[in-house]
Amino acid sequence: MGKSPDIRIKTPKEIQILREAGKILAGIFDDIKSLVKVGMTTGEIDMIAESLINNSYVVAAFKGYRGYPANACISVNEEVIHGIPGKRIIKDGDVVGIDIGIIYHNYYSDMAMTLGFGVLDTGRQKLLDVTRQSLMRGIAQAKPGNHLRDISHAVQSYVESKGFSVVRDFVGHGIGRSLHEDPEIPNYGSPGQGPLLKAGMVFAIEPMVNMGVSGTKVLSDGWTAVTADKKPSAHFEHTVAITESGPMILTVK
Ligand code: MF3
Ligand code: CO
C-alpha cells in the first residue's frame, strides 16, 4: 500500500481564481486553433503560444519546470506528450497535441488538446474523437461520493471499447498552487477504488490514447514520449473542480 495522498481542498475563493485562470487558458487555445497552420514548425507554434501567454498577462508554467525549455509541449503523431517544439514541420494529415500550463495569481491551470490538420484518415479522426470523448467520460465521474478510480475506469473502459489503448506510463494530477499536486490520476483502474472524491478538489484529467500498443518510450532529449510502435497518439486535458453539484470544467471560456 502506498502512502495516502495529500489532496488539497480548495476554498471557494481559490476555485474562483482557478476558474479565471482556466478561462484565460481556454481563450489562448481558441487563438491557437485559429492561428496554427500546415507548414508551420512546432517551434513557430511555441512562439505563438508565448505571445498569447504574454498578451494575457499570465506566466508560462512549463518553461523552466524541471528544465523544460519551451512554453508549450507540442507532440506530433507518434509523439504522445512532452514534445519539445523545434524544427518539425506540421504536414497535412498530422495530429498535433498542444499542452499549455499557465500561472495566474499564483494558481496553475493546465490544458491540452490534439488538433488535426488538413484531411485526416478515418483512424486518426476516430482517435481524436475517442480521446476527447474519453476525457468527457472521465470528467463526468469527478463528483463527490465517487472514488478516484471511477474517473480512471470510465476513461479506460470507453477507450478500450473503441479498440484503442490508454497510456499507463503517464497520469493526470491534482493542481492548484503547484502544477502537480496529489493525487496521481491514472487513465486505467477499477471502479470504487482510490480516495473518496470531495468538493473542493481540483484535478487535471488528461487521457493519452494510442492507436496501437499502450507502451511508450522517452527519446534521448529526455522529454519527448513516443509510442513504442510509432503509431499515432492523442491527448486531451482539462483542469476540473469537484463541486457539490458535480464536475465543473475550469478550462473553458
Ligand atoms: N500537462 C503536462 C503535465 O501535467 C505537461 C507538463 S510539461 C512540463 O505533466 F514541462 F511542465 F513538465
Ligand atoms: Co497536466
Average pLDDT over residues 13-33: 98
The minimum-distance atom of ligand 1 relative to the CA of 68 is: 10
State the residue for C-alpha cell 498535433.
Answer: 96
Residue at 147 is within a domain: yes
User: Is pLDDT at 239 greater than 60 in this prediction?
Assistant: yes
User: Is pLDDT at 197 greater than 70 in this prediction?
Assistant: yes
- Residue-wise pLDDT tens digits, 145-170: 999 999 999 999 999 999 999 999 99
Residue at 2 is within a domain: no
Average pLDDT over residues 67-95: 98
Q: What is the DSSP letter of 162?
A: T
223 falls in which pLDDT band (50, 70, 90)?
A: very high
Q: Measure 229 CA to ligand 2 centroid, in angstroms.
A: 24
- What pLDDT sits at residue 203? 99
Residue at 7 is within a domain: no
Residue at 3 is within a domain: no
The minimum-distance atom of ligand 1 relative to the CA of 99 is: 1
With the most atoms of ligand 1 within 8 angstroms of its CB, the residue from 63, 65, 114 to mutate is: 65
Give the least confident one: 2-11, 41-50, 59-68, 131-140. 2-11
- What pLDDT sits at residue 175? 99
Residue at 181 is within a domain: yes
DSSP labels for 33-99? HHH--TT-BHHHHHHHHHHHHHHTT-EESSTTGGG--SSEEEEETTEEE-PPPSSPBP-TT-EEEEE
User: Is pLDDT at 2 greater than 70 in this prediction?
Assistant: no
- What pLDDT sits at residue 3? 74
The minimum-distance atom of ligand 1 relative to the CA of 110 is: 1
Strand 202-205 and strand 172-174: the pairing is antiparallel
Measured distance CA(233)–CA(214) in Å, rounded: 9
- Residue-wise pLDDT tens digits, 113-157: 999 999 999 999 999 999 999 999 999 999 999 999 999 999 999
Structural domain count, the chain? 1
Nearest ligand to residue 206 Cα: 2
Average pLDDT over residues 181-200: 98
Residue at 134 is within a domain: yes
DSSP labels for 183-243? EEE-S---TT-SSBP-TT-EEEE--EEESS-S-EEE-TTSS-EEETT---EEE-BEEEEEE
With the most atoms of ligand 1 within 8 angstroms of its CB, the residue from 29, 53, 59, 62 to mutate is: 62
Measured distance CA(92)–CA(27) in Å, rounded: 25
Q: How many other β-carbons are positioned within 10 Å of the β-carbon of residue 137?
A: 18
SS3 171: coil
User: Is pLDDT at 1 greater than 60 in this prediction?
Assistant: no
Average pLDDT over residues 30-54: 98
With the most atoms of ligand 1 within 8 angstroms of its CB, the residue from 179, 235, 238 to mutate is: 179
Q: How many CA atoms lie within 13 A of 113 on its CB side?
A: 17
Average pLDDT over residues 195-221: 98
Q: Which CATH number goes with the domain that contains 231? A: 3.90.230.10
- What pLDDT sits at residue 70? 98
Residue at 6 is within a domain: no
Residue at 133 is within a domain: yes
Average pLDDT over residues 14-30: 98
SS3 103: strand
Average pLDDT over residues 1-24: 93
SS3 107: strand
Domain that includes residue 210, residue range: 12-249
pTM higher than 0.95:
yes
